[in-house]
Amino acid sequence: MSVSEKMVQEVVQEVMAKMQIANAATEKHHGVFADMNDAIAAAKKAQQVVRNLSMDQREKIISIIRKKTHENAEIMARMGVNETGMGNVGDKILKHHLVADKVPGTEDIRTEAYSGDRGLTLVEMGPFGVIGAITPCTNPSETVLCNAMGMIAGGNTVVFNPHPQAIRTSIYAINMINEASLEAGGPDNVACTVENPTLDTSGIMMHHKDIPLIAATGGPGVVTAVLSSGKRGIGAGAGNPPALVDETADIRKAAQDIVNGCTFDNNLPCIAEKEIVAVDTVADELMHYMIAEQGCYLASKEEQERLIHTVITPKGLNRACVGRSAKVLLEMIGVTVEDNIRCIVFEGEKEHPLITTELMMPILGVVRAKDFEDAVEKAVWLEHGNRHSAHIHSKNVDHITTYAKAIDTAILVKNGPSYSALGFGGESICTFTIASRTGEGLTSAASFTKKRRCVMSDSLCIR
């Protein structure tokens, strides 16, 4: 394809995404209601059907969601970027393919059996019913899709209260999930939402008698609100993942992995490298490779000051900066760079506002530590007790073990980019709801089920 053909195609896709967003505001979509109570009632009716579907039938719905997610990956990626202004289309497409391929379905629902002289006992994983889910603007359709797949696999239906800034993209995914269910012979409204989600609609959801479980994916405010609701909550909260680099690491590879992880979707993923702690003896070499080979721009003290005042406001993060590229962020402070610049780096103390704050922007501060022990102490401090994600580049297994125990996070990536924890360049499943606060870790269908013991006394043991 020639350059001009490619540009035309991109413009067409862009316009299509804008049209989809406009249509989502006016068209009738499956699962979308004006009133939260009506959304919950519809999801409850659907759940009565879903709970009686065979595992095969549930799996059929999930396999159609996978197919549609692949087919609609680009349009959802474009809608997400257009509507929120955050992230980049290429990486968001990859995230949707990851969801389609690596979010577990019904295979995650396993029965335990105990058989002996006194009979047979099964421990089965049953549905909760209608689950309430609150989703972030950083991965709008991705979170909706992976939550719904796990929840439906578990025999539940779901009512979403998505981030208002990403409602059209979320509605697109919710509509698609219901279309998949209908195509598979399942009910409509397996996933529901409201046209205008607000704190009031989420309050209705959180206190509704028909919602026994709430899964909250977002910052500290929403997780605290859900955990204070009196309901069972799955809290997937904020992170500020440090990447520790010690003197035994392959420094050139560490520079590449860290910058690749940090810049993925413009640093939106909660698991992404947000700062570096490097042992003194390798800090300069690491910085050298990041600048010479990985498209990093070294910000001067004065530029750091301008960045601080641009990206952080007295009320918190400047939302207009979240998920923007390094080039755009630099433009905002009056610095013009080539297109190949993908990350902003500098050295600073751990208390530096651009280091201690979870920015969700491709800005990487490097904190120098005098030795490994000092690096662990600084990294643990920077993680702020979120127990979310951390990364290490080291060939010393004792160091890796010490760090893993000290930082105690749901995710620890060793010698790779952060996204390998999502199954992208690493083994195992994908999710966009990492329950750091409540301990489920990477959520999957099993996280959305409750254990039920089914006992046959004194028979059915045939040993």
Binding site for ligand NAD (CB under 6 A): 134-139, 162-163, 199, 202, 217-219, 221-222, 225, 236-239, 270, 358, 432-434, 436
Q: Which residue is nearest to ligand NAD (CB)?
A: 218
- Residue 200 is which amino acid? D
Q: Which segments of 206-342 are extended strands (E)? A: 213-217, 232-236, 242-245, 275-279, 296-298, 312-313, 316-317
User: Shortest Cβ distance from residue 381 to ligand NAD (Å)?
Assistant: 18
Pick the closer one to ligand NAD by CB: 294 or 444: 444
The closest alpha carbon to 169, from 206, 197, 211, belongs to 197
In the complex, minimum distance from the CB of residue 36 to ligand NAD, in angstroms, rounded to a whole number:
12
Instruction: State the alpha helices, DSSP H only, in 338-396.
Output: 353-356, 372-383
Judged by beta carbon, residue 157 or residue 170, the one nearer ligand NAD is 170
DSSP letters of 33-73?
ESSHHHHHHHHHHHHHHHTTS-HHHHHHHHHHHHHHHHHTH
Nearer to ligand NAD, 177 or 206 (CB): 206
C-beta of 166 vs 258, nearer to ligand NAD:
166
- Shortest spacing between CB 44 and ligand NAD, in angstroms: 21
Minimum gap (Å) between residue 218 Cβ and ligand NAD: 2
Residue (157 or 217) nearer to ligand NAD, CB: 217
Where would I find the H helices in 334-454?
353-356, 372-383, 397-407
Q: Are 158 and 20 in contact (CB under 8 A)?
A: no
Question: Measured from the CB of residue 299, what is the shortest distance to ligand NAD in angstroms?
Answer: 23
- Taking the complex as a whole, the smallest distance from the CB of residue 199 to ligand NAD amounts, in Å, to 5
Which residue is associated with the tokens 């900066």? 321
What CA–CA distances, in Å, run from 342 to 84, 295, 330, 441? 20, 5, 10, 30
And the tokens for 179? Answer: 């279309």
- Residues 155, 158, 162: CA angle, nearest 5 degrees: 155
The smaller minimum CB distance to ligand NAD, of residues 222 and 249, is found at: 222
CA distances from 418 to 2, 254, 359, 415, 429 (A): 34, 11, 16, 9, 14
To ligand NAD, the closest distance from the beta carbon of 236 in angstroms equals: 3
Shortest approach of ligand NAD to residue 219 CB, angstroms? 3
Q: State the chain's maximal CA–CA distance in angstroms.
A: 78
Q: Which is nearer to ligand NAD, 93 or 317 (CB)?
A: 317
Closest approach, Cβ 320 to ligand NAD, in A, equals 13
Q: Spell out the residues 6+ positions from residue 74 whose beta carbon is closer than 8 angstroms to its own.
A: 13, 89, 93
Nearer to ligand NAD, 190 or 435 (CB): 435
Residue 225 Cβ, how far from ligand NAD at the closest point, in Å? 4
The residues with which 434 forms a beta bridge, in sequence order, are: 442
Q: Residue 217 or 304: which CB sits closer to ligand NAD?
A: 217
Pick the closer one to ligand NAD by CB: 187 or 239.
Answer: 239
Question: How far apart are alpha carbons 385 and 435 in whole angstroms?
Answer: 14
> Judging by beta carbons within 10 Å of its beta carbon (0-12, 13-18, 19+), is residue 405 exposed, middle or buried?
exposed
- Residue 230 CA to residue 225 CA, distance in Å, equals 10
Tokens of residue 204, six digits? 């209705």
Would you say 230 or 334 has its CB closer to ligand NAD? 230
User: How far apart are CB 58 and ligand NAD at their closest, in Å?
Assistant: 24
